[in-house]
Structure 1
């Protein structure tokens, strides 16, 4: 679903003025057909739909398990998004989001006579690429609705003119090469986690049934699964082509390998900063960055070296920097917004084969580097100890990193650490000391590929990644990204399928570890900091990333294990963080709260369009709270001395309160309020699902919103509420409220009483309200309610020079 609407900041209730927007107009395009040409096109498309209907009927009779996919070819002049709108509306005319993507096909034109018109000679046929909208068809009613519209030449001339052909989708055929048995297969992305998982399982089952070996399974991007399979005959190729979930199949051409490096032809093009353009900035706390042609242009100032050259080994730091700079180009992702990132190199660790170093030496180096470069706000750190963190006390090293972050107002992105315990069948080791930092974003690793002997399935925790929780059951790691896979061969040797990196010589190599998932997260944080037209705000950046993070689809892990190994999940790219679709809205409240007060927002905006026909509210709600707790190292497991708690729910109304009575200070309050973030309001069966429902992959269960956790996240689906609670708490006449309170431990209250200082807590709350059915105008309705109810609100502000870049639609190449 397209996201073009900016997320919004709002403030506590203040009556103030608001802004409005305008509109535009359009005229008929020259390519729209009329008369006989329009009639002929209409008849052709109706005939197409008759064939679609016949194929759909056959599939139903055969009881196919995957949805039927239809390819709608758009005429060249109508490829632009502004012209495709009616076509998409047609394909979605059952009020479902049926369009799942765009496919290209190469077709041969009729031979032209341009070579010698006088002689009537015709030139050779030319190939051209056509764009096809792919959509799913699940009902006969939708087919009839489409067919009816295509017959209506009076009202739908533009729609009919925009479509060249409609046909059941089939992967383009490929010739079988008996000299190369390896073929690369990509499955259809149905834009639905459950259906995608089903397609993968059916594909694997078909391969197994026919003795077709899957050599490697690889996730290149979020919506692209590739399988390299061994096909021994043309018959096997036909079997694969007959699988309904195939998007494409092609011959897999091997590349020339030299040890663990790839051929120079696979090295990405060296990027150069554009003069006058600004870029995100990241400080790299590591072993040093080799100044080769790929990375040297992006090192923007003299760095810090805490060891002489003969005691350095810049290999690790170079690989970390290459992920920071070239991750998309190397690993096939598409998550960055800026074309590059500037780096400051801090050599904080030596070649450990030549020099002994202790954790405190690292801390000193980190502190010195950051203090010397206070203007750099995002730092990536993929080095640290190998010691496991304690269960009930925070390490000195983690506390030191917190102190450095607070004193310098920076955000450190820290690796969770690696472990070899999986090699010996031991339990997973917990995160390392230093990674128990409260202020840092700590990053674990998940697998993006799976080799023959690798242990982890794609999108599940890497075997080597360390797990949580941190001390005092604080959720760590906070986030995850792709960091590689490992396993053991039958002979006992270790296999490693690392992420693609650049080594010191600029050659592509493989490297597994949380060291290489960490800079991926640092890049997103740096881009957010660069894009936002706000003063640096680590709470806001952390909140945006955690709030939008989710667990990759297709997993069968219980929620406790997801949180243990993956924290709050994997964040998406910048575009999905900063923008909403029309069926959702994200609101941000960034504030501080003194101990003596609480925020009680009565009549909180909530869309009436989410009331069902039966009179009860529906919808999905995600609420994230990120705070900067007051820290005291002396308090052991109670290191976090303050907390922010949030209640969000419904009430029957606002009641007057008698302030003449003792202990009653507020004249208004909620009547019969119910906090919907309570776990016991929801079905225990639903709360125990893995990925059977799409929302389950994003849900951090309510039980993880514990007191004195610096990050809390709640994700609820009102349809999952028990019937009795739904009847009592979700009626259309109930109002909505949000209450935010500060909690403090006794030690810090006592300390502030003695000093007379003001005890207050900074926080950031993000709330997303979403219609999972993609029907309700949530964004516009909540915005209108913000205005009507006197809130001060504004769109998230981006720097002018990059606003349009971030808002590029993902299919803009069709314009």
Structure 2
């Protein structure tokens, strides 16, 4: 139970905490080659030459025949990389070829733009290198003294160019042309039928950021002009400003395939349609009484983007603050929207066995966008138009928007137009979308799942792959001997991660029904209890909790800090501990969240600290170092420190949807270091990093176990009995960018809890005194006590 006498502290960063110098990083040695011997490298080079010859003979002539100014227009060529880390990218190769990466799809699948001349030049490069490959990489390695006077391995300057080219070429697994199979990767038979039914489809072009884009588009129009595709019939899709996607008339399935085979076209796809994510309703006999809000009382606010709430719903009418309707009344079916609204207001009464629910009432913005599924569905562009209109009107008042809707399109290496657009909307309007992870209709038949990478059938679907959104999965509310999973375990239908670029999705989980005997309950339009299950009904439980964060926080709460607090308080629903197994992160996310009072109030044996800021390389604010991190002396004994420190970091990376699995363009790491024997030693580790042998720390392992490029991170120090260390502790936060052009401002928030698990040390008192000595800080006293709403009579 929380104690208001021990509030969290909001710390203001000092000027000395922002560092302008070089970001701390180990000095890299000469790159490793993927092959150790000259014989192996020669074999690899011959294979690459054969692949290039195939491109020149079979692909280039046909592709050029479709283009205007064909000699000057790059063709999309795929480099499939053997290694994923940035250090293995073909940067030196592309620089010599005067080329660049124009897209990234799945991990390691790079699409580069190469003219015929550049492809020939690449072939010549390989031929020249074959003549000078050393018997061993070590022949080109020498020793050189660094700035600290230490001799280190270095490449002989005479061979710098050749060394890097061989390194990059041996990191390439395959060079091939971009095919219609790549462009149609997400299209199923049903999707072709959808294009025909809509009478139009989406064509997305690679973007070169030069006059090449105009040449390719003109070539496309010329090539298809005699097939019914005219310029006046094509319209640019306006919702994402970072992608060149056009709405094109449907002619035939064959023309779709021809478009996909056109050089310069990245994807051809149908418009995604969104449907309600519920699994069937059961009507109960019990009826709940009407609850009414108190006058002049402030309540959390949630915008529900759903199927609407009937004007005749007496149980919810008083809780609806405003309504925006985009579906005519005769095309509505309010069941789903009323279930979502009902669980927000009446969830604690309908489900008395479920904890961590908002039981104090929620004011609702009812955004009616989803029509009766028996009559029609809503298309992605229509949904975005409605969302944007509603956001224009209500984004200032409503910061939390619940989207309990889903689609059949699975998360892939390509960022969809819709995902890019809703991420832009959240940035533009400074709001937080809460999105259901989606329901896997077949349902898993095995639990637990040992390897998430075996099958993608139950992976999250649009729009749950949104990088900015909080995606919510479902955990079982009850169980018995007939259910596959126990209470608190992930339900068989809850879709799982990973998200884009192996990011953590879902972000968190909450309760829903455990099929088929244990549904979750809400109310219908007349107040009768109805039973159902689905991730649709977990999402509003989280939306209500987050809305209470905004309502209770004493000052304006930033979106980044709100998310950081939500994640920081989340725990594994079974173990009640931080989620610490990498595989679990893709099912549970960071766990089940708590209400804000339980996150920000503690006791004498713990303290929670918060700070927020921005890394801005353009202003020389390169990284953060708090060299006098306030750590209590009572947790120090001799040369050991003990206790628990949990650190949660949330940041907002620059996003580029054209670069697929590399959508997130920056990474921020955080660590605590303690002085041990006169030298700094990192004392925290990533919450899942304990599973990673040092020898396996390559890029994919870092992305799954250390959450590299993921905008949410947690690190932890945990030692009840003590580990080597001292009270000289520093906190460091430092970024890396994929490219120099990605060096944008990175807003961040950090939440830290220092705790004595033994409940002995006066942690709160000691840290508070240290803060008074060196920092400017404020107590976070929440606005009010949550008042549970019950029947009055």
The residue that corresponds to 1:394 in the other structure is 415
Secondary structure of 2:544 counterpart: helix
**C-alpha distance 601-554 of structure 1, shift in aligned 2 (>3 A):** closer
Secondary structure of 2:510 counterpart: strand
> How many Å apart are 1:627 and its aligned residue?
0.4
Indicate if the aligned counterparts of 2:445 and 2:484 stay in contact, CA closer than 8 A. Answer: no
- CA distance in structure 2 between the partners assigned to 1:720 and 1:349 by the alignment: 56
Candidates 785, 809, 812, aligned match of 2:770: 785
1:254-653 matches, within 5 Å, as 260-264=282-286, 267-291=287-311, 292-301=313-322, 303-332=323-352, 333-336=354-357, 339-375=360-396, 376-390=398-412, 392-422=413-443, 429-486=458-515, 495-554=516-575, 559-595=581-617, 596=620, 597-612=622-637, 615-652=639-676
- CA distance in structure 2 between the partners assigned to 1:423 and 1:807 by the alignment: 39
- CA distance in structure 1 between the partners assigned to 2:649 and 2:656 by the alignment: 21
TM-score where L is the length of structure 1: 0.58
Indicate if the aligned counterparts of 1:587 and 1:768 stay in contact, CA closer than 8 A. Answer: yes
* Residues 49-87 of structure 1: per-residue CA shift (max 9 Å, x gap): xxxxxxxxxxxxxxxxxxxxxxxxxxxxxxxxxxxxxxx
Indicate if the aligned counterparts of 1:470 and 1:476 stay in contact, CA closer than 8 A. Answer: yes
* Residues 178-217 of structure 1: per-residue CA shift (max 9 Å, x gap): xxxxxxxxxxxxxxxxxxxxxxxxxxxxxxxxxxxxxxxx
Indicate if the aligned counterparts of 2:498 and 2:504 stay in contact, CA closer than 8 A. Answer: yes
The residue that corresponds to 2:751 in the other structure is 766
- CA distance in structure 2 between the partners assigned to 1:681 and 1:275 by the alignment: 48
* Residues 136-185 of structure 1: per-residue CA shift (max 9 Å, x gap): xxxxxxxxxxxxxxxxxxxxxxxxxxxxxxxxxxxxxxxxxxxxxxxxxx
Secondary structure of 1:485 counterpart: coil
1:128-167 matches, within 5 Å, as none
Indicate if the aligned counterparts of 2:627 and 2:731 stay in contact, CA closer than 8 A. Answer: yes
1:670-681 matches, within 5 Å, as 672-678=679-685
The residue that corresponds to 2:741 in the other structure is 750
The residue that corresponds to 1:39 in the other structure is none
The residue that corresponds to 1:3 in the other structure is 3
> How many Å apart are 1:530 and its aligned residue?
0.6
Indicate if the aligned counterparts of 2:348 and 2:358 stay in contact, CA closer than 8 A. Answer: no
**C-alpha distance 446-337 of structure 1, shift in aligned 2 (>3 A):** closer
- CA distance in structure 2 between the partners assigned to 1:735 and 1:300 by the alignment: 52
Stretches of structure 1 that go unaligned for 5 or more consecutive residues are 16-258, 487-494, 654-670, 688-700, 753-758, 809-815
* Residues 218-247 of structure 1: per-residue CA shift (max 9 Å, x gap): xxxxxxxxxxxxxxxxxxxxxxxxxxxxxx
Indicate if the aligned counterparts of 1:9 and 1:796 stay in contact, CA closer than 8 A. Answer: yes
Indicate if the aligned counterparts of 1:627 and 1:710 stay in contact, CA closer than 8 A. Answer: yes
- CA distance in structure 1 between the partners assigned to 2:592 and 2:666 by the alignment: 27
The residue that corresponds to 2:112 in the other structure is none
> How many Å apart are 1:679 and its aligned residue?
6.0
Indicate if the aligned counterparts of 1:534 and 1:797 stay in contact, CA closer than 8 A. Answer: no
- CA distance in structure 1 between the partners assigned to 2:758 and 2:457 by the alignment: 39
Indicate if the aligned counterparts of 1:704 and 1:712 stay in contact, CA closer than 8 A. Answer: no
> How many Å apart are 1:797 and its aligned residue?
4.3
- CA distance in structure 1 between the partners assigned to 2:302 and 2:288 by the alignment: 21
Indicate if the aligned counterparts of 1:442 and 1:478 stay in contact, CA closer than 8 A. Answer: yes
Indicate if the aligned counterparts of 1:705 and 1:714 stay in contact, CA closer than 8 A. Answer: no
- CA distance in structure 2 between the partners assigned to 1:712 and 1:504 by the alignment: 42
Indicate if the aligned counterparts of 2:685 and 2:715 stay in contact, CA closer than 8 A. Answer: no
**C-alpha distance 720-515 of structure 1, shift in aligned 2 (>3 A):** farther
The residue that corresponds to 1:756 in the other structure is none
- CA distance in structure 2 between the partners assigned to 1:772 and 1:395 by the alignment: 45
The residue that corresponds to 1:740 in the other structure is 733
- CA distance in structure 1 between the partners assigned to 2:483 and 2:687 by the alignment: 40
* Residues 6-39 of structure 1: per-residue CA shift (max 9 Å, x gap): 1111122479xxxxxxxxxxxxxxxxxxxxxxxx
Indicate if the aligned counterparts of 2:288 and 2:528 stay in contact, CA closer than 8 A. Answer: no
Secondary structure of 2:426 counterpart: helix
Candidates 767, 782, 791, aligned match of 1:798: 782
> How many Å apart are 1:683 and its aligned residue?
7.3
- CA distance in structure 1 between the partners assigned to 2:512 and 2:610 by the alignment: 31
> How many Å apart are 1:682 and its aligned residue?
9.3
Secondary structure of 2:640 counterpart: coil
- CA distance in structure 1 between the partners assigned to 2:600 and 2:394 by the alignment: 28
Indicate if the aligned counterparts of 1:459 and 1:555 stay in contact, CA closer than 8 A. Answer: no
> How many Å apart are 1:718 and its aligned residue?
2.4
**C-alpha distance 14-580 of structure 1, shift in aligned 2 (>3 A):** farther
- CA distance in structure 2 between the partners assigned to 1:8 and 1:604 by the alignment: 14
Aligned length: 502
> How many Å apart are 1:294 and its aligned residue?
1.2
- CA distance in structure 2 between the partners assigned to 1:499 and 1:648 by the alignment: 42
**CA RMSD across the alignment:** 3.0
* Residues 300-350 of structure 1: per-residue CA shift (max 9 Å, x gap): 12x122121111111001001111111112111453566211101111110
**C-alpha distance 412-771 of structure 1, shift in aligned 2 (>3 A):** same
The residue that corresponds to 1:46 in the other structure is none
